[in-house]
Amino acid sequence: MLTFRPATPDQYDDFLRVLKTEAAEYLAATLRHMGMTKDEFAHIFRTVGEVRGIYEGEDLAGFYWIEKRQEVLHLHALILKRPSQGRGIGTRVLETLATKFRVTVTAIELSVHVSNTRARTMYERNGFAIVKTLKDLGFYIMRKPLTLNLG
């Protein structure tokens, strides 16, 4: 059973460690493109949007970072620890976000590095499509429209 809890202040460092371990190449490219230091990035993710821990039982499986921007929910990061990858957890996180935000946003948007075919395939399987390519950064912007199910 998955649960999602607000990240505690001490978990922000865990989030950065997992991000640096599991997505170091993507993080470095993003920071270079944005002209941002790691410290500036650390400040932004602590103050913009919401970071939640993803738990399987009591075990921390990873984190997600979201920000509601008008009618779009932006998924800044979905990072799973290596032992939790490939087990359907990412799909369940996406399904939970779609269900929770379906009444307040029209779409979920995210970016994925062009070399991360495994993640891109998972997002496509979950209804996301590429809507823009940031060639200079090496990222695809992907979007999944949400519709309110009244039936």
Domain count, the chain: 1
Cβ-based neighbours of 102, under 8 Å, separated by 6 or more: 146, 147, 148, 149
Whether pTM exceeds 0.75? yes
pLDDT, one tens digit per residue, over 38-69 is 888 888 878 888 999 999 999 999 999 999 99
pLDDT score, position 151? 47
Q: In what order do the strands lie in the sheet with 72-80?
A: 2-6, 50-56, 59-69, 72-80, 107-113, 139-145, 129-134
Tokens representing 31? 């920071």
pLDDT score, position 92? 96
Mean per-residue pLDDT for 144-151? 73
Structural domain includes residue 150: no
pLDDT score, position 45? 77
- 86 against 15, higher pLDDT: 86
- 150 against 110, higher pLDDT: 110
Structural domain includes residue 68: yes
Structural domain includes residue 110: yes
Structural domain includes residue 114: yes
